Structure 1
């Protein structure tokens, strides 16, 4: 699988993910959460920030089923779903990932018929798998 490249701004995201936590960068000036991580708040222009824990809950805002694979490293998994999840606590933040049946489960482990916009999901992390581990998503109602 692909390994994310962590820059200085995004490194804390991956460090927390490796511990099984979904955190987002939050402006210390105005309190606005932001993703992707960046040095300056786009709302108040403050350079002060902190990493805030989230519940990891959200809903599928959109999705696509990739035929053929969008990336060569995913060729053996095609067709596979890619979901865009809107976080419950921060609806302006949307994270990309895959819908799976459990942490570390393979792509395609959830029947495609269960994939729908608006479905409530929870972030999971394969902390025993390769690091850094991107968040995956499981349905709240399996």
Structure 2
């Protein structure tokens, strides 16, 4: 395993398996009713071990970012420049990620982002245990909301469009 490979074990497997299926999971504490991320076997707020996986909405806002122009670690060196970011998930936790599909000039603190997934076949992080497409680990990344392809809403009383 190299330094860029997430540690997929029995505890984190549901997270990585869900990512491979296009779903983002976060941990939620039943004792204090608070979500948290990164995945831990206990609640970082009240220390309860009564924590469970829950699906996240996939919505987030951009908290901060940095454009990485040099990275010598595989597989990141082949992707430069890329946008390393921290997002605030709609559920509350903050998450380190990458912003994709958005020019640097368009990035704004607080901009709305939505989860996407980079699978092993699309340059996900390599893993020996076969999680995700192409034998790699599918990782959550975030991008701007898709632009609607339909026109403006009709104006009431304006007749046929």
- TM-score, with structure 1 as normaliser: 0.80
User: Cα distance 1:24–1:97, how it changes in 2: closer, same or farther (>3 A)?
Assistant: same
**Contact (CA 8 Å) 1:20, 1:127: kept in 2 or not?**
no
Distance 2:117 2:61 in 1: 17
Question: Deviations for 1:22-49, whole angstroms, at most 9, x for unmatched residues?
Answer: 1101112221111112122122222122
Give the aligned partner of residue 97 of structure 2: 97
Distance 1:126 1:64 in 2: 19
**Contact (CA 8 Å) 1:62, 1:83: kept in 2 or not?**
yes
Deviation at 1:128, TM superposition (A): 7.6
Query: What is the 5 A alignment of 1:1-142?
Result: 2-69=4-71, 71-90=73-92, 93-101=93-101, 110-126=102-118, 129=121, 131=132, 132-140=137-145, 142=147
**Contact (CA 8 Å) 1:121, 1:138: kept in 2 or not?**
yes
| CA RMSD between the two structures | 2.1
User: Cα distance 1:18–1:30, how it changes in 2: closer, same or farther (>3 A)?
Assistant: same
- TM-score, with structure 2 as normaliser: 0.71
Distance 1:70 1:58 in 2: 29
Distance 1:80 1:43 in 2: 33
For structure 2, the 5+ residue unaligned runs are: 125-131, 148-161
SS at match of 1:4: coil
**Contact (CA 8 Å) 2:114, 2:143: kept in 1 or not?**
yes
Question: Deviations for 1:69-99, whole angstroms, at most 9, x for unmatched residues?
Answer: 2634222222211111110121xx1112222
